[in-house]
Structure 1
Amino acid sequence: MKTTINGIQQMGIGVANAREVFNWYYKTLGFDILVFEDESTAALMLPYTDGLPRERLALLALNMIGGGGLEIWQYTDRIPQPPINEISVGDLGVNLMKLRSPAIPQIHSKLASAQASFLSDVATLGEGKSHFFLTDPWNNHIQIVEDDYLFSPGKNGSGGVMGAMIGVSDMEASIRFYKELLGYDQVIYDKTGIFQDFRGLPGGDHSFRRVLLRHSPRPIGGFGELLGPSEMELVQVLDRKPNKIFEKRLWGDLGYIHLCFDISGMDYLREECKALGHPFTVDSSDSFDMGEAAGHFSYVEDPDGMLIEFVETHKVPILKKLGIYINLKKRNPHKPLPKWIVKAMQVHRVKGEFNIPNR
């Protein structure tokens, strides 16, 4: 069986207080489905945690409008460290995450009422779609992009993760990586210059090459219809030397720590990554267990060392109180789950804030 990439499963965010961050994304941007909350030891990420197992708290939040979720990740045995330098556009790694929205005026108005920290006004992209930039209260930059993909109607106006803006040092090498390994085979635009919509972003007044990649329609399975199509925007700054965002820091420190793809066919993918010169740097080998979810995960590095996670999901809770789970190992990996099953995850919708403990 060859590899099937079902979509972006989640964006990992390293934080100092996971429940506080969840509350903000739940109230402000509609990530109100709490798939799991798991406190345990991260024992397999040793190449990126100074060779030591680390205690951590992880929450996975989804937005049912459609798109990837958020893995909100907190060290519980050390104080997570901020970047050495302020993150500027073009620095190496995830500069920001892209969230889809079928209703840009609605979500912009809601965020304005919530006194969000905007980094730009609403502007038009080259293909005529609207977008704008903002930052969350912990200085993680976000782009809201007009997109008509809809898995389930929602009142919030903003959907899930539809991609990322990634700083790169060698555009051609990065295009090859994201095209050959992840299937982003369509170049939507490739432009160079100083960009007005970047002006409010840190370092946005420099000269850049921007390449927006999308993938052709492709087979999906499992939760692929919830995750939806996605895009990557690669950004290379041309008139300064970019910093590496996670230089002298650990995975799990503050900021965007990885981009995770939901896949089927991990064994085939392992060989494919090795053949492309990007072998797995972490491999759970069989199955990890996060208490309420289980699967097989691995990591590779992009040409600049940014971490890409792959997860082959085996088990996901639907009705936890009744012990009802989806066992994906027994299903055709190329067939999406029925929508009614995926929508049943709405029983995990949070209707009130977490009590935030002192840590």
Structure 2
Amino acid sequence: MAKIISGIQQIGVGVPDFKEAWNWYIKHFKMNIRIFEEEAVAELMLPHTEGETRKRVAALAINMEGGGGFEIWQHTGKTPALKEKTLMAGDLGINYAKMKTRCIECTYKEFKKEKLDLISEIHTNPAGEKHFFVRDPYENIFEFVESDTYFTKKNSNGGAYGAVIGVNDIEESMKVYSDILGYDEVVFDITGHFDDFKTIPGGHEEIRRVLLRHSKPRKGAFSKMFGPTEIELLQVKTRKPSEIFEGRIWGDPGFIHLCFDMNGIDELREECKSKGFPFTVDSQRDNPSFDMGEAAGSFAYIQAPEGTLIEFVETHKIPLLKKLGWYLNLQKRAPEKPLPKWMLKTLGMSKVSHV
């Protein structure tokens, strides 16, 4: 079976206070559908946790408007290590999480009314598309992008729409983002100084910006909910970029990974190896279906040239109506076939107002 990438399942957000952070994301970003929540030990991430298993608490939360979710993640076996210096545009790794909204003016006004840390006004990017930046209480920056794709009409803003990633060499990094992940459409490739970046830290530098999208619609069980996504690569020209997680480990505060829902993990394993990006973590080495509390599946990681961790999850089981004990076994379905919308909407029954 050829690999199938259904879309961005979630972006990992390391935080210093799990409950406080999730409540903030529920209140302001409507990430209020609990897919799973558990306390456990991260036993398989040794290549990215200094060779030690790490106690943690984590949850996968989504927004019913569509887009990817957040994996909200906190170390509990050690004190989360905060960044020692401000992240600058083009630093190596995930700089900003992209978020989708059907009405950018509406979302901007909502955030302004809520007195959030809006670090830009609404600007247009080099393609003429509207966007703005907002910062959470933990110094994470989110770029809200206007999009006409949505799953429901529950909220003005949706979930994760992609990421802005700082890289050393765009051509090298494209070997992952274009060749493996399928972002084969270049929307723009421009080097210069940009008005829409002026108010974000480091945004005054000369930067090469490449916006990537996928020309082919995504397939798979959750493709209708995830929708189309985009990746923007930044290569700063006038300073040496820092590594975002230098001196820290996976799971410390910041954007810790970008996760793709997919099928065909065996085929993907061979493809990534042949292209020079072998799995650094592979749950199937020990267990064909890894138990994540209320969900199950296989997962693996590769590391892009600039250091960004890319996670792949082959979902085997998810809860649809937990109160009734209804769990969906995806291994019995054709992998390319989207789930019907009514079935995906049952995920809304797992809504939480606070944690």
2:243 paired with 1:241: no
Structure 1 contact 92–245 (Cα < 8 Å) conserved: yes
Cα deviation for residue 126 of structure 1 reads 2.9
Cα distance per residue 1:25-71 (max 9 Å; x no partner): 11101111111111111100011111111111001110111100000
Number of equivalenced pairs: 352
Tell me, in whole angstroms, the C-alpha distance in 1 between the residues paired with 2:123 and 2:279: 39
**Residue of 327, 338, 341 corresponding to 2:329:** 327
- Provide Cα deviations, 1:251-281, integer angstroms capped at 9, x if missing partner: 0001000000000000000000001000000
Answering whether residue 56 of structure 2 is matched by residue 56 of structure 1, we say yes
> Take 2:47 and 2:130, find their aligned partners in 1: how far apart are those partners?
40
Cα distance in 2, alignment partners of residues 83 and 277 from structure 1: 30
Q: Distance in 1 between matches of 2:245 and 2:116?
A: 26
Equivalent residue, structure 2, for 1:357: none
- 3-state SS of the aligned residue for 1:160? strand
SS at match of 2:158: coil
Which residue number corresponds to residue 184 of structure 2? 185
Residue deviations 1:297-337 (CA, integer Å, cap 9, x gap): 00000011110000000000011122110110111000011
User: Partners of 1:326 and 1:128 in 2: how far apart?
Assistant: 41
Check if 1:288 corresponds to 2:285.
no
> Are 1:84 and 1:247, in contact at CA under 8 Å, matched by a contact in 2?
no
- TM-score (norm: length of structure 1): 0.97
1:157-172 equivalences in 2 (<5 Å): 157-172=156-171
C-alpha distance in 2, partners of 1:160/1:112? Answer: 19
Q: Distance in 2 between matches of 1:94 and 1:131?
A: 18
**Matching of residue 133 in structure 1 with residue 133 in structure 2:** yes
Separation (CA, whole Å) in 2 of partners of 1:128 and 1:248? 38
What residue number does 1:272 align with? 271
- Compare 78-87 and 177-186 and name the one that shifted more: 78-87
Structure 1 gaps of 5+ residues are 355-359
How far is the alpha carbon of 1:219 from its aligned partner? 4.5
* Aligned residue in 2 for 1:152: 152
CA contact (8 A) 1:18 1:73 kept: yes
Q: Are the equivalent residues in 1 in contact too, given 2:7–2:218 (CA < 8 A)?
A: no
Q: Give distance in 2, aligned partners of 1:134 and 1:81.
A: 22
Shift of 1:224: 1.1
Alignment of 1:79-90 (within 5 A): 79-90=79-90
Gaps of 5+ in 2: none
The equivalent residue for 1:200 is 199
Separation in 2 of the partners of 1:202 and 1:126? 19
